[in-house]
Amino acid sequence: MRNRVLFAAIALGLGLAAARPVSAAEPDPAHGRVLAQRLCVSCHVVEGAGTDAAPTLAALAREKSDASLRLATASPHHAYMPPLDLSQPDIGDLVAYLRTLRRHP
């Protein structure tokens, strides 16, 4: 009986994992780019456009680890950057986009 319950729990877990949409599991840098161009250009340069109120996103992407990019995007901890209240998938997409900037000057 105990085994049967365990089996049911595992089957349910596998079913849920399979049902999970790909977009939730894999960050989408193209969407992150759209978000950055909408939310970050008022202070950071994003691919040549924006202001010099803050370091360019490309420079930050090269300087910072993935963890600090995620932290800064999820909960800005300095005075000038406003809380952006982004969802977890949006944060993942933004960080995925920032990582692509490391390949560009």
Please tell me whether residue 58 binds ligand HEC under the rule CB under 6 A: no
Q: Is 81 in the site for ligand HEC (CB under 6 A)?
A: yes
In whole angstroms, the minimum distance from the beta carbon of 88 to ligand HEC comes to 14
Regarding 78 and contact with ligand HEC (CB under 6 A), the answer is: yes
Greatest CA separation for the chain: 66
Closer Cβ to ligand HEC, 2 or 42, answer by number: 42
Beta bridge partners of 49: 46
Residues 74 and 66 sit within 8 Å (Cβ to Cβ): no
Binding test (CB under 6 A) with ligand HEC, winner from 60, 89, 99, 100? 60
* Residue 34: count of CB within 10 angstroms of its CB: 14
